[in-house]
Structures are given as C-alpha cells and as structure tokens.
Amino acid sequence: MRKLMKGVAAVEFGILLIPLVILVFGITEYGRAIYTYNTLTKSVRDAARYLTSQTPGDTNEHATAKCMAAFGNPDCSGSPLAPGLTTGMVQTCDRILTCGGVTTSLSTGSGTINLVVVRIQGYPYDSFVEFVMPDITFEAISTSMRGQL
C-alpha cells in the first residue's frame, strides 16, 4: 500500500501549482493597475489644484499643468509618472480655454462659479501577464475644481 502512495503529494502539488501561480499573477497585475490608476488620479488632482490659482485662459499655465499631470513637475523633465503617459493625453480646460463636452462654468443664484478641469484620456495600461489580465485603457480620469475668477 505504501508503495502505491509514493509521489501522490508531488502530483497534488503539481495540480495545485498552476491555479496558485495564476492567482498570484492576477493579484499582482490588478494591484499594479490600481496603483497606476491611483497615480494618474493624484497627478490630475495636483494639476487642477495648480490651475485653480492661475489666470483663466493662460496657455503657458495650461502647458505647465499638463507637465505636472504627466511628469509630476512643471518643466516636463524626468520620466513620466506612469509608463507611456504623455502630455498629449492630458486635457486642461477653464472658462476661456474650453474642451468639448466639459462644463467650465456653473450659474448659481449669487453668480457664476468658474471651474478648472484636468483630465487624462485614453491612457493604455500595458499588462505584464496578459493571460491573467488583458491590456486595458483608462478612458477618462478627470478632476474639476473651482477656479479663479
């Protein structure tokens, strides 16, 4: 009987190893995707916060905000905050420099509120392990904040 049971543990381990490896890679990939999304969200928020203190319509300040969203600094130096992120994926809008389909001013009973909007459109997330999680695209990560009058 003992001779028949030799190697059973190795066979069971081999059978369970495949789902365990897939599970570990899946957790890792989804963790990376969430981390990347969180990084993009924070960068958009920082760029919008920067634009709230600037004069509306200033194209130089909008270019600086795009650098801040993509690179984390105002002069576009260094590596991007997320692999493959460019300033071309970043849109900035205010009451003068508008974007299609984005509301940049709201009328209230006591006046108009001007909004600043920064968004990243079409960021392609590249998965390391595509058999666990396919490549995805973050369509629109945006932040709106009250801007300067």
Task: Please tell me the predicted confidence (pLDDT) of residue 149.
Answer: 63
What's the whole-model pTM score? 0.83
> Domain range spanning residue 117?
2-146
Task: Using alpha carbons, select from 105, 75, 93, 79 the residue that is nearest to residue 142.
Answer: 93
- State mean pLDDT over 110-139: 87
Q: What is the mean pLDDT of residues 90-112?
A: 81
Q: Tell me the pLDDT of the chain averaged across its residues.
A: 88
Tens-place pLDDT, residues 30-77: 999 999 999 999 999 999 999 998 888 888 999 999 999 999 999 999
Asked whether residue 125 carries a pLDDT value surpassing 80, the answer given is yes
The number of domains in the chain is 1
